[in-house]
Structure 1
């Protein structure tokens, strides 16, 4: 497989998307009567998924067809203008900012689809099939989502997200075309790994901005240490697997990587929000217990599935390992259900689980 390096422009573009994800995560910090309302949980996902898909679309194009030429650089920079419009429109008040949100998202997707048309070349049959399929089929989702501008009230959101869902499923429906022009696995893992690393860094910044040590409140220091320890555990587990356990020569469509990381990124955002909610002590005990353990379980299952497919055969986890991890996290959860503990103890338990997960899985 030809070696492909991540460009500085790709990394610069990632910073914009991380800012968008950070804004989406703040929706989870809106507490009402001790809980994050279901409507805010829904809005978080409705904001997060289009941002993730906009990033994935361009990432997958660059992985298969990117050449770092002038016209591709220009289109990526032009696309970043629409990303900025998208970021500026992210709010729990969807109705007020709906038009700029739609313009930003559609602009990103149109430019992505257009780039596929530009790479269709004579004599490259398999490349042309993959590029032509994506270039033409992505317009279906774009058209459906664009039609939402003619709808009113809540129905416009239904039309918008039907288009986004169709867009997301296009690569799955076209697997027979894409498998003949596989992704560059090494580059793709590096791209997702770098975004993960930036998100972990952003998590540290957002958490420490809340955890201010004060006289007589040493628990803030405890929260800071445990939060940092937890993020280090994520880093250890994720990047040791990425560097040491993964066969990067495997040729696939990369769909397990891109769809699996949706749940990895959602769970990281949920855990970052959970730490801040635990520290502020404004949240219902049983709500935050379900929220943080649910997020931990999502991260565990999604990373396990993503890495399992690409692990060397002799490095794959066995049923015994999965049973061990599930028994540990369920034991902590059941204990906390019947014997309420402080927020810092919950955070310590999550730390213990992820340290064990990192050590055993790497």
Structure 2
């Protein structure tokens, strides 16, 4: 995740003409030279291929959230949380690698699409490896999925190096760095515990270091608005998984018991929570933050907490349904914390990445941490979920009240 280099000589508009014009220029729709895109293009939306790529991660996110739900319901709190953190990192990092490369080098020709298809196949293999990784810490299948995705990704970086002379050094650093770390992931499979966990931590740091090392040669020309939209779309996917998981849990509970006041409370509270989380995330112009060289890496990496906590809220709501239908024997405090902790983490993450950089004033900046603290206290009360929903709704109200009038007019 590089800083923006708007003065780069390699920045130029990608040809977006039709088949006839491409043929006239001698450019085939099957293959065109891969050159750096312009980081200041006037219109740079997410492509249908990127949207399709994102949808392929729905399975993996749903698997991770479902496994977390079952772990918490069975009172396996520590192992469940650790497994969830590890597995969700694997899912998120695979998505992130594709997203930032595509923002800088998407040619949308036939070769690029087929290579993306290979990455999609790797993502589906990764999804199939979520259950053994979560339950037995066996990352063999996930690693195989990564090998498939990484072979395609490295070929993309080598393709960029061969045609984008100005960005060749950066592309080669990415290709070599990604390859080296991937060899490390394969070697890690042979490590016994607890060395396997140590190796995991070391390799995560290595993954984080590759973009920093590569971008120090010359920043790639990713597009701030495009990246903000891509992250926003993935946030919607995660929130959608939250709603789907909760809806299925409600359906199962109603089939086995009946509609009760407790279930209706979970449903209503969950809906208000999710809508409030959506509102608070998307009410800040993220691309303005991304235009700053100082915050690009922090913003991009920090979204791990936003994505992981949002998906975990769904698992927590399903735990709440289990508790109300007597399908779990955990304590009321544990059931309340299953929702309170991820909601609080989501709010703190959104505050740090989306609110503070915009300097919206002391009231809103203090309201987010205060809301997170109050939410963490709600499990000590008889009605934790309605109270969490009420606090999130109140925070939305504070956000609206402190929004500048001109900004409110522009977004209305």
Please, what TM-score do these two structures have when normalized by structure 2?
A: 0.76
* Change in 2 beyond 3 A, CA 1:35/1:347: farther
Structure 1 stretches of 5 or more lacking a match? none
* Change in 2 beyond 3 A, CA 1:206/1:291: closer
Matched, 1:320 2:363: yes
Out of 327-336 and 265-274, give the one that drifted further: 327-336
**Aligned ranges 1:67-86 → 2 under 5 Å:** 67-86=107-126
Q: How many residues align?
A: 351
Please, what TM-score do these two structures have when normalized by structure 1?
A: 0.86
Structure 1 residue 332: Cα displacement: 5.0
Structure 1 residue 257: Cα displacement: 3.0
* Change in 2 beyond 3 A, CA 1:333/1:163: closer
CA distance in 2, matches of 1:61, 1:123: 14
Aligned mate of 2:99, from 29, 53, 59? 59
Structure 1 residue 84: Cα displacement: 1.3
Matched, 1:295 2:342: yes
Aligned mate of 2:179, from 112, 121, 139? 139
Matched, 1:114 2:155: yes
* Change in 2 beyond 3 A, CA 1:106/1:123: closer
Indicate the structure (1 or 2) with the bigger Cα radius of gyration: 2
* Change in 2 beyond 3 A, CA 1:216/1:98: closer
Out of 226-235 and 105-114, give the one that drifted further: 105-114
Structure 1 residue 11: Cα displacement: 0.8
Structure 1 residue 326: Cα displacement: 2.4
**Paired position in structure 1 for 2:271:** 228
Structure 1 residue 231: Cα displacement: 1.4
Aligned mate of 2:143, from 86, 93, 102? 102
Aligned mate of 2:230, from 191, 194, 211? 191
Structure 1 residue 58: Cα displacement: 0.7
CA distance in 2, matches of 1:130, 1:176: 8
**Paired position in structure 2 for 1:355:** 396
CA distance in 2, matches of 1:328, 1:153: 39
Out of 31-40 and 217-226, give the one that drifted further: 31-40
CA distance in 2, matches of 1:122, 1:86: 31
Out of 254-263 and 352-361, give the one that drifted further: 352-361
Structure 1 residue 232: Cα displacement: 1.4
Aligned mate of 1:265, from 283, 307, 310? 307
* Change in 2 beyond 3 A, CA 1:198/1:123: closer
Structure 1 residue 350: Cα displacement: 4.5
